Amino acid sequence: MSDWGPAVTDIREPAGRVRKAPEHFLDADGVRTVFREGKAGRRDFIRSAFAAAAATAAGAAAAQSNPVPPEGGDPHILNLPPHSTGLGQPVATDGYGKPSKYEANVQRRMSPGLTQTNQASVSFAPLQSLFGIVTPSGLHFERHHQGWWDVDPSKHRLMVNGSDDKLVKKPTVFTLDEVMRLPSVSRFHFIECGANTGMEWGNVAVPTCQYSHGMISCSEFTGVPLKIVLDMCGVDYKRGRYVLAEGADGSSMTRTIPMEMVESGEVLLAYGQNGEMLRPENGYPLRLVVPGVQGVSWVKYLRRIEVGDQPYATKDETIHYVDLMPDGLHRQYASIQECKSVVTTPSGGQVLLDKGFYNISGLAWSGRGKIKRVDVSVDGGRNWRSARLETPVLSKCLTRFNLDWVWDGKPALIQSRAMDDTGYVQPTYRQLRDVRGSRSIYHNNSIQTWLVQESGEVKNVQLS
Ligand SMILES: Nc1nc2c(c(=O)[nH]1)N[C@H]1C(S)=C(S)[C@@H](COP(=O)(O)O)O[C@H]1N2
Ligand SMILES: [Mo]
């Protein structure tokens, strides 16, 4: 089955899943609006659609945290909230901590109807709720072809062999302990599924950036450069110009990686993610990290590396993850994720509560290197201003950008356009379709447009 089933008709969470938090306004999709409730005096600015929710939320918040005597009460007794007067929770109540209950709407989400089973499926990361560049491991997007497993690390093995006897002198089977005693590195990289933003090819315009761009995540990965292990096994690098990576799950996930990538030292046998072991959903206990390359090559539950003298033409590189070009031929092995960006605030589903100042914020990345510049337009691409790139700006990693904006209350078309250090500039839909046609599913890196309507509601639109 391909990554995308029928078009989405209804992406809303069941109403019961949406939590109203006292300090945030949440719309029906559980999307946090841009403004938090400020002073009570600001409430007259709030749009009528939110007035009811706002009144309850602000009232509850005021009662909890306002250290003034209740009206008509004893002026000597301050109405302090329990958290200022009582004893808090003991340490290690949760041996492994969880987010605040007020953040319960920040979830990775499935798109109902997108896939026929929940095992060969995808969940999207809530980009609109995240700050900085690191994706918390519990919110990392998921893409499984045959469901995920919690594989016993003491039983897991990694085999390294050659496609013929001469390519690898010492074929070896490694335990995880044996891999983990080798020299390790830790590096921040994004992983993006080649199908990210795929529905936009058909101008489906899914409502939020979680669904349009949420098949990307960014982590600090820790592991052993694959080159070190291949050296140990005595690889003939003259003839052995490709490796095949194979996963241990039932999906027969196998992908060809060119040896130059391995020789660069960037390809990792990773066991660590954001300071701890990989999560089961992300390939515990061992996955391949192939910086800059589409997610499908980042084989999870990695059990075998074979060295070969030619590309392997597996199902996931000849039938799936290929691009139908305008001349009717398929482009295969397209692997590097080209330079791309998206504004995450304000973005589809969010609501601006009033005109005035906003921090436009978003993410930019390139599979070829570092982000050099991000320009932002609020008028559909007529005028551009350069955004601030926040540090760190790392190679093949998400880069956070921010830009000051004063909204005048009129409709605005917000876009971002990233450039990487090779000089490549993220294309418009017209530029992309001129080269790629319109029958692709994968590898859509076009400029995204969000329409801010006069009501403050933000919508996904596509400018041709
Ligand atoms: N073993 C195995 N590896 C796999 C897959 C899989 O189904 N099985 N899916 C691939 C695809 S298509 C993507 S986009 C990434 C997703 O990684 P994640 O689930 O950690 O986000 O894993 C890749 N590696
Ligand atoms: Mo993918």
Of 384, 370, 443, which is closest to residue 413 (Cα–Cα)? 384
**Ligand nearest 279 Cα, by number?**
1
| Residues less than 5 Å from ion ligand 2, measured at CB | 143, 193, 295-296
Question: Would you mind telling me the total number of residues written for the chain in this entry?
Answer: 464
- Distance of CA 21 from the midpoint of ligand 1 (Å): 34
How far apart, in whole angstroms, are the C-alpha atoms of residue 318 and residue 200? Answer: 23
The reported pLDDT for the residue numbered 70 is 60
Choose between 122 and 50: higher pLDDT: 122
For ligand 1, residues with CB inside 6 Å are 140-145, 191, 193, 247, 249, 251, 253, 281-283, 295-296, 298-301
Query: At residue 179, what are phi and psi to the nearest 5 degrees?
Result: -70, -40
Q: Which residues contact 179 (CB under 8 A, 6 or more apart)?
A: 158, 224, 229, 269, 271, 286
Domain(s) labelled CATH 3.90.420.10 in the chain stretch across 113-331
As assigned by CATH, the class of the 340-461 domain is mainly beta
Strand, helix or coil for residue 400: strand
SS3 139: helix
Q: Is the pLDDT of residue 34 over 60?
A: no
User: Residue 279 and residue 397: Cα distance in Å, rounded?
Assistant: 20
Give the closest residue (by CA) to ligand 1 atom 18.
142
Closest CA to 344 of 390, 392, 293: 390
Distance of CA 462 to the CA centre of its chain: 21
Q: Which CATH number fits domain 113-331: 1.20.1250.20, 3.90.420.10, 3.40.50.300, 3.30.70.980?
A: 3.90.420.10
216 alpha carbon – ligand 1 mean position (Å): 12
Q: Give the C-alpha separation, 226 to 167, whole Å.
A: 16
* Rounded Cα distance, 357 and 129, in Å: 19
CB atoms within 10 A of CB 110: 17
Residue 250's CB is within 10 A of a number of other CB atoms, namely: 11
According to the 3-state scheme, what is the secondary structure of 163-230?
CCCCCECCCEEEEHHHHHCCCCEEEEEEEECCCCCHHHHHCCCCCCHHHHHCCEEEEEEEEEEHHHHH
413 pLDDT exceeds 60?
yes
CA-CA distances (angstroms) from residue 217 to 292, 338, 357, 382, 420? 12, 15, 29, 30, 19
**Ligand 1 atom with least separation from CA of 195:** 14
Ligand 1 centroid to Cα of residue 175, in Å, is 22
Name the phi and psi angles at 93, rounded to 5: -55, -45
Peptide bond into 392 cis (omega under 30): yes
Strand partners, 459: 451
Mutate to test the pocket of ligand 1, among 124, 135, 294, 298 (most ligand atoms within 8 A of CB): 298
Q: Which atom of ligand 1 is nearest to the CA of 301?
A: 1
d(C-alpha 147, C-alpha 412), whole Å:
41
| Atom of ligand 1 at shortest range from CA of 145 | 7
In the reported structure, the alpha carbon of residue 143 is separated from the centroid of ligand 2 by a whole-number distance in angstroms of 6
What's the pLDDT tens digit per position in 320-361?
999 999 999 999 887 899 999 999 999 999 999 999 999 999
What is the Å distance from ligand 2's center to 141 Cα? 10
- Residue 395 Cα to ligand 1 midpoint, Å, equals 22
d(CA 288, CA 271): 9
List every span in the chain annotated with CATH 2.60.40.650: 340-461
Does 458 have pLDDT greater than 60? yes
Mutate to test the pocket of ligand 1, among 145, 281, 289 (most ligand atoms within 8 A of CB): 145
Q: What is the pLDDT of residues 280-328, one digit of tens each?
A: 999 999 999 999 999 999 999 999 999 999 999 999 999 999 999 999 9
DSSP secondary structure of 259-288: HHHHHTT--EEEEEETTEEPPGGGTTT-EE
What are 124-144's pLDDT values in tens digits? 999 999 999 999 999 999 999
Supply the pLDDT for residue 442.
96
Q: Which of 34, 35, 54, 56 is nearest to 43 (CA)?
A: 54
Does 65 score more than 70 pLDDT?
no
CA 357 vs CA 123, 342, 388, 404: distances in Å: 33, 20, 16, 7
For residue 167, pLDDT beyond 70: yes
